[in-house]
Amino acid sequence: MKFEVTILGCGAALPTSKRFPTAQVVQLNEQLFLVDCGEGTQIQLRKYKVRFLRINHIFISHLHGDHYLGLPGLISSMHLLGRRKELHVYGPKGIDEIIDTNLRHSFTQLNFELIYHFTNPKEQEELHTTETFSISTIILKHRIPCTGFLFQEKERKPKINKSVIKEHQLLIPEIIALKRREDVVRENGEILAWEKLTLKVPEPKSYAYCSDTKMYERVVEQVQGVSCLYHESTFLNDQKERAAKTYHTTAEQAAQVASKAGVEQLVLGHFSSRYRDLERFLEEAHAHFANTLLAEEGLKIVIDS
């Protein structure tokens, strides 16, 4: 299972010469998922050599421009490059009006189908699932409807050594049962315990993306024990009141969420343009949660490989 995240943009509302607005790509096996699409995302996709025609699912957390303004341009480029495969866009109601209005007034008729999936900002829901992973929403608390996204591997089937198959002369139905974590009882009374005959498989990994939100205890419940948590940290503590007023989070608060939720790793992002030096974000976070990284453009986070 290849499970990686590439940061394309980590800035807040105003783009700067050093930080693009929010966008990132999640890779699960050979599938690519785009999470938020701020202004300039397609430039970043090219810069970091992401083959964006392979992206079939785009997740938009909310309808503030720094999280979706790159989407009409990206869709247009996909059209110009001859895309034929359908594209799924997940986001709040209204995302369809934004994109369709742009297409209508530019007299653009896409070569491919756009399929919209509207997210519910009040209840967690599963958005996409396969045999090996699922993607669901995380309920956040922002000024407008907003969700995060949780990428979770599913429990893997145990594997069996070829030597074990030969040694016990396993039949196909027995192999299937052992992979389902079921003991096999033969007619002669012999018991084949699946735990003894199968190889240990890695624990499922997970990635939680928490876009714009104020400090919110419900988030702690939803991201319990995840392998990696990306959490917005727009401000430092000197702007704690402003963070609360604008429904954002400080670096310290993000670290407190990570600590309470017992996550393995925290990545801070969505930095206000007022800050040039980001080291203080790490200092404030490390006081509460040691395993913290700063998001930066081009950063690749390996969650499972």
Residues 49, 79 contacting (CB under 8 angstroms): no
Residues 22, 36 contacting (CB under 8 angstroms): yes
Q: pLDDT, tens digit, for every residue of 76-99?
A: 999 999 999 999 999 999 999 999
**Mean pLDDT to the nearest integer, 183-190:** 85
**Mean pLDDT to the nearest integer, 58-75:** 97
Domains and CATH numbers, the chain: 3-156+202-304 (3.60.15.10), 159-199 (no CATH)
Closest-CA residue to 87 (of 116, 125, 63): 116
Residue type, position 160, single letter: I
Q: Which residues are part of the catalytic machinery?
A: 66
Q: pLDDT, tens digit, for every residue of 208-219?
A: 999 999 999 999
Coil, strand or helix at 73: helix
CA R_g for the chain: 22
Identify the bridge partners of residue 250 per DSSP, sorted by sequence position. 235
The pTM of the full predicted model, rounded to 2 decimals, is: 0.90
